[in-house]
Structure 1
Amino acid sequence: MAKAVRYNEFGGIDVLRVDDVDRPVSGDGQVLVRVKAAGINISEAVIRTGAVADMFPSTFPSGQGSDFAGVVEELGSGVTGFAPGDEVIGFSDQRSSQAELVVVDVGHLTPKPENVSWEIAGGLYVVGVTAWGVVQSVRLQKGETVVVSGAAGGVGSLVVQLARRAGATVIGLASESNHEWLRGHGVVPVAYGDGVADRITAVAPHGVDAFLDTYGDGYVDLALALGVAPDRIDTIADYQAAAKYGVKTDGGAEAGPGAEILGELAGLIADGSLEVPIASVYPLTQVREAYTELERRHTHGKIVLTT
């Protein structure tokens, strides 16, 4: 038996529980991994409520989670490139990573660099691949100016760093408490809230070329009001506005080969070129407490579960 996060119906945090489940078995081309750490993401909370059941239907009991890092336990037939005992970073597309054991296709794994912590590795996939896709979507050029909303959040904190690596001037919208971190990463911090358009204009007198929205709540409208062209706006949080105005919604699995991007990002972390802030770490048994913190939407970086 192994412990795994489960829920039997759509609902709030109170539907989450940690159950004993049958030990997973790796099939052809699959790998069984003993999970050391698994990230949690706001998209999982939205799916759990049933609000997007038409796009992401669920079969109950449902598991939860995509991100994980752990140690290879056993290999299915036909698997090459890994061996039991290997430390790996990976992702599940079966909502099953928040567990002690997870089975995934071998193509969903990449080696974990020795100097990347379990917590960082375990929370990397969703935010990392999403941030990569968001930055790629607007074709940032050296010298351009881009605004990032939710700039200190799980995705936003990586978006601002990848945008800086592309050579852009980055304006990060975040609370005052996160401004020092943003400055330390070469980002121009701006407080969100009333008057934000004027504050952006004050630090970008020559205009804004692109806008990356990781938060929602009216930022697509703000981007358009700032004169940003719809094809240079990307939102991963406001699909209604995207449909209304024709802006982009790139980020996530459609960004490209997940394991390949995951490996590239892990390499950047290993050599000190990219930082993944960790907001909090909870044991798997405290999954409700972890999502309670996440759903307040004021964390700086990732929240991670450990087993």
Structure 2
Amino acid sequence: MSRAVMYETFGGPEVLELREVPEPHAGAGEVRVRVAAVGLNPMDWVLAAMPEMAQRFGITLPSRFATDFAGTVDEVGDGVSGFAVGDRVHGAATGRAAADLVVVDPSGADTLRRTPPEIGDEVAATLTIAGMTASAALTAVGVKAGDTVLIGGAAGGVGVFAVQLAELAGARVIGTASEGTFDFLRQLGAEPVTYGPGLADRVRAAAPDGVSAATDLFGTEAAEAALVLGVPPERISTIAAPTPPEGVHATGGADAQPEDLQRITDAIVAGTLTVPIAATFPIDRIREAVQLQAGRRVHGKIVVTL
């Protein structure tokens, strides 16, 4: 037997249970990973709480939980090339990562990549969804050297990647956040402004020469402020807006390219990108971890260890 986080009804953190389950095995074309760490994303609790969102991802009850993971390959099925028992790996398995053992299809819908020796499992477990989402959001609007980019929700799990990737591209970054995160954002290289009513005026004061691109990682407030400031809709993106403003790019991690994740791991190894870990919880405290994640007040990433 092994352990997995499961839920039988949709709801908040209270529906999550750590249970003993039969040990899974890798079939043909599959790889089994012994999970060391799970990186939480807002998508995880959204899928567990909202049946209509779960349906979009093919999730039915009872279900397992979480997507991003890191660990070690301990079983390889027939026909698999590129992975061997003992390889350290990280990746994404939608709705089933929070378990001692996860079976993934690296040539199918799942993501599996080798973890560089310089990167620990806790950091590796945060990379796939947040890193690829941030990369897609910036790519959609063509962020380049010389841009002044407005990033909404800059202190969150996706924001910490977006801020640093924009800076690496040579852009100036203005990030929206609460005042309590300002020092944190400055350490990442962003110029913070407070979100809320009057955002466009505050951004105009911070960047009197104008903003040339924007990405909103929380809703539409930053996107709407960018439109007020004269940013063309085609240079604005959102990742979590049910109805983004007309002409604005709606994007997400699915639009990223595999090389985007490689670029992120290369930057971490080179020391030009860091991953702030806001909190770490053992798997038997999964409800506390998800409650903190769902509060959307976290500065960086939350990791669950096994």
TM-score (norm 2): 0.94
Corresponding position of 2:287: 288
Q: Secondary structure at the match of 2:266?
A: helix
Give the alignment of 1:60-79 within 5 angstroms: 60-79=61-80
Report if aligned partners of 2:5, 2:99 keep a CA contact under 8 Å in 1: yes
Corresponding position of 1:305: 304
Q: Displacement of 1:290 after TM fit?
A: 0.5
1:38 aligns with 2:38: yes
Q: Displacement of 1:57 after TM fit?
A: 4.3
What is the CA deviation profile of residues 129-154 of structure 1, one whole-angstrom value per residue up to 9, with x for unaligned ones?
11111111100121111100111110
1:89 aligns with 2:99: no
Corresponding position of 1:249: 250
- Structure 1 residue aligned with 2:205, among 202, 205, 224? 202
Q: Which moved more, 1:130-139 or 1:266-275?
A: 266-275
Give the alignment of 1:249-288 within 5 angstroms: 249-257=250-258, 260-288=259-287
What is the CA deviation profile of residues 240-271 of structure 1, one whole-angstrom value per residue up to 9, with x for unaligned ones?
1x1x52311112122223xx433332221112
Give the alignment of 1:210-225 within 5 angstroms: 210-216=213-219, 218-225=221-228
Corresponding position of 2:105: 105
Q: Displacement of 1:221 after TM fit?
A: 2.2
Corresponding position of 1:232: 235
Q: Displacement of 1:191 after TM fit?
A: 1.9
- 1:48 corresponds to which letter in structure 2? A
- 1:17 corresponds to which letter in structure 2? E
Report if aligned partners of 2:220, 2:238 keep a CA contact under 8 Å in 1: no
Report if aligned partners of 1:137, 1:234 keep a CA contact under 8 Å in 2: yes
Give the alignment of 1:45-60 within 5 angstroms: 45-50=45-50, 51-60=52-61
Q: Displacement of 1:201 after TM fit?
A: 0.4
Report if aligned partners of 2:32, 2:74 keep a CA contact under 8 Å in 1: yes
Q: Aligned equivalents of 1:263 and 1:220: distance in 2? A: 28
- 1:81 corresponds to which letter in structure 2? G
Q: Displacement of 1:196 after TM fit?
A: 2.2
Q: Displacement of 1:176 after TM fit?
A: 2.2
Report if aligned partners of 2:44, 2:65 keep a CA contact under 8 Å in 1: yes
Q: Aligned equivalents of 2:155 and 2:36: distance in 1? A: 25
1:182 aligns with 2:178: no
Q: Aligned equivalents of 1:197 and 1:261: distance in 2? A: 31
Cα RMSD after superposing both structures = 1.6
Q: Displacement of 1:288 after TM fit?
A: 0.7
Q: Displacement of 1:55 after TM fit?
A: 2.6
Report if aligned partners of 2:152, 2:221 keep a CA contact under 8 Å in 1: no
Q: 1:160 to 1:118 in 2, by over 3 A?
A: same
Q: Aligned equivalents of 1:71 and 1:152: distance in 2? A: 30
Q: Displacement of 1:235 after TM fit?
A: 0.7
Q: Which moved more, 1:8-17 or 1:33-42?
A: 8-17
Q: Runs of at least 4 residues of structure 1 off by over 6 A?
A: none
Q: Secondary structure at the match of 2:123?
A: helix
Report if aligned partners of 1:111, 1:263 keep a CA contact under 8 Å in 2: no
Give 5+ residue unaligned stretches, structure 1: none
Q: Aligned equivalents of 1:205 and 1:196: distance in 2? A: 14
Q: Secondary structure at the match of 1:239?
A: coil
Q: Displacement of 1:91 after TM fit?
A: 1.4
Corresponding position of 2:8: 8
- 2:287 corresponds to which letter in structure 1? R
Percent pairwise identity = 45
Report if aligned partners of 1:38, 1:122 keep a CA contact under 8 Å in 2: yes
Q: Aligned equivalents of 2:103 and 2:55: distance in 1? A: 26
Report if aligned partners of 1:110, 1:262 keep a CA contact under 8 Å in 2: no
Give 5+ residue unaligned stretches, structure 2: none
- 1:2 corresponds to which letter in structure 2? S
Q: Which moved more, 1:171-180 or 1:143-152?
A: 171-180
How many residues are paired up?
Answer: 302
